[in-house]
Amino acid sequence: MQLHNTLTNKKEAFAPLDGQTVRMYVCGPTVYDHLHIGNLRPLIVFDALRRYMERFKGWTVRYVQNVTDLDDKLIARSADTGTPVEALAERYTDAFFSLLHTLHIEEPTQSPRATDHVAGMISLIERLVEKGYAYARGGDVYFRVAASAEYGKLSGRRAEEQEAGARIAASEIKENPLDFTLWKAAKPGEPKWDSPWGEGRPGWHTECVVLSREYLGDTLDIHAGGSDLIFPHHENEIAQAEAVGGKPFSRFWLHNGLLSFSGDKMSKSLGNFAYARDVLERFDAETVRYFYLSRHYRKPLDYSEEGLIEAQKALARVRTMIDEIRSEPEPSTAEPLSPEGGAFAASLAAHRARYLAAMDDDLNTVGAIGAIQEIVSETNRFRASAAPGDRPALKDAIALVRELGEPLGLFQERAEGPAGIEDDLMRLLIDLRATLREKREFALADEIRDRLAALGITLKDTAQGTIWTT
Ligand SMILES: [Zn+2]
């Protein structure tokens, strides 16, 4: 398959280095708030890539995504709300995993928390200092960009350009305005760890280097995230990883385009903003996925209510076909396939090939969805005149739509029906119970759990949030 590599700015043939396991790292959430709709794009897009590789390419994907639970934003939010950093991080980590579940996004193979790996970050910074790539100043440690000959190779920014951009942020402390922070000295009241440079905490750019190398090794197959991370985050990751590892950090760098909001840049202060969970109250998971995957992942995507309504209609067309064919009665006697039925069955293979070609072409989900919609059109045309003996061919068409929809997380659910509502109702009760527990209304929270248990439904609190089973 071909993937566009930001590092070379070209589409290149992709296969995992060892031929079997794709080592993939996707920058994860900073857990200081609920996710907004812009955050959903990399989650959905790279979930589709992972699933396609697993289902159709025969590779195993080791998908590692960090949870940033120590960060300036968390500290600021904690100061604003009076909630301790750890409690905030826990609340929004739970909300993140609950959102993955709602959106039918597969959980990462591993989701390391930054705070569990501070020792590893300190030792990486120590090695950078030893090798002359970093220096300590006043309790902080900075990366020495001048020591990294290839700095700027991912973003394509030349050193002079960057210097002009960074001038505003220049400080007396740094040797060069481009030098970035690896370790920050603690201010009073902030979370802190002991280090050779005094109490403080590691910077975000170091976190991803340490976590990806720890779980996936020196060279990743794919490092992915939003295109807003190319500079400085990913550029700074490469500089550190290659300085200590002496090997290419990641073979492929994949970046999704950003989201605009009805034509404007998304901004909380301008009101051009939506939380993912609010959108999911009005549109189901498949509609939201359909909307995001209806545009190529590298292009900018404009979020709009109309776009979601269109996705809902397009999805309904497929679901209606599936439901109608399923509800047709089985013929009572076995009849042979008609010649037209035979031709229809044979045409399905060509649509499957089109889908595969699109997905292999830099995850062209637009073409892939187009191929699926073409199956629906052709099936609907054929159904009008199908003979009773053609029923197996119609059932094959449904099976194919569901098979091709699986990596996209589409067409697995019925339009309506008990299954969808049941899950929605259970999410409602689980969220209600979580709110009660936050308010320390433990008796009521326990009553919800106990009465569900009496109905044969078990709630289980896991590290990834509460799940239910019958
Ligand atoms: Zn990262």
Q: What is the mean pLDDT of each run of 10 residues along the chain (470 residues)?
A: 98 97 97 95 98 98 97 93 95 96 96 97 98 96 95 84 59 84 94 96 96 96 97 97 95 96 79 90 96 98 95 95 83 88 95 98 98 98 92 95 97 61 80 92 93 88 71
- According to the model, what pLDDT value does residue 165 have? 59
Closest CA to 438 of 468, 470, 466: 466
Give the Å distance between the CA of 162 and the centre of ligand 1.
20
Can you tell me the distance from the alpha carbon of 371 to that of 401, in angstroms, rounded to the nearest whole number?
9
Q: Give every CB contact of residue 330 below 8 A, 6+ residues apart in sequence.
A: 391
Can you tell me the distance from the alpha carbon of 263 to that of 27, in angstroms, rounded to the nearest whole number?
26
* Residue 398: Cβ within 10 Å count: 20
The DSSP string of 13-72 is E---TTSSEEEEEE---BTTS--BHHHHHHHHHHHHHHHHHHHHS--EEEEEE-BB-SSH
Residue type at 353 in one-letter notation: A
Can you tell me the distance from the alpha carbon of 2 to that of 297, in angstroms, rounded to the nearest whole number?
14
- According to the model, what pLDDT value does residue 331 have? 79
Closest CA to 388 of 446, 348, 346, 328: 328
Give the Å distance between the CA of 211 and the centre of ligand 1.
9
Its pTM stands at 0.86
Can you tell me the distance from the alpha carbon of 263 to that of 245, in angstroms, rounded to the nearest whole number?
42
- According to the model, what pLDDT value does residue 362 have? 98
Give the Å distance between the CA of 393 and the centre of ligand 1.
47
Q: What is the pLDDT of residues 158-167, one digit of tens each?
A: 766 666 655 5
Give the Å distance between the CA of 125 and the centre of ligand 1.
16
Contact 28, 65 (CB under 8 A): yes
Q: What is the pLDDT of residues 408-417, one digit of tens each?
A: 999 997 644 4
- According to the model, what pLDDT value does residue 19 have? 96
Give the Å distance between the CA of 208 and the centre of ligand 1.
5
Give the Å distance between the CA of 396 and the centre of ligand 1.
43
Q: What is the pLDDT of residues 66-110, one digit of tens each?
A: 999 998 999 999 999 999 999 999 999 999 999 999 999 999 999
Residue 300 region by backbone torsions, left for phi larger than 0, else alpha for psi between -120 and 50, else beta: beta
Give the Å distance between the CA of 238 and the centre of ligand 1.
10
Give the Å distance between the CA of 26 and the centre of ligand 1.
7
* Residue 51: Cβ within 10 Å count: 18
Question: What are 66's two structure tokens?
Answer: 């960090």
Measured CA angle at 341 (ends 337, 347), to 5 deg: 135
Closest CA to 378 of 386, 367, 387: 386
Contact 14, 252 (CB under 8 A): yes
- According to the model, what pLDDT value does residue 53 have? 98
- According to the model, what pLDDT value does residue 103 have? 96
Can you tell me the distance from the alpha carbon of 232 to that of 429, in angstroms, rounded to the nearest whole number?
42
Give the Å distance between the CA of 218 and the centre of ligand 1.
15
Measured CA angle at 79 (ends 275, 172), to 5 deg: 105
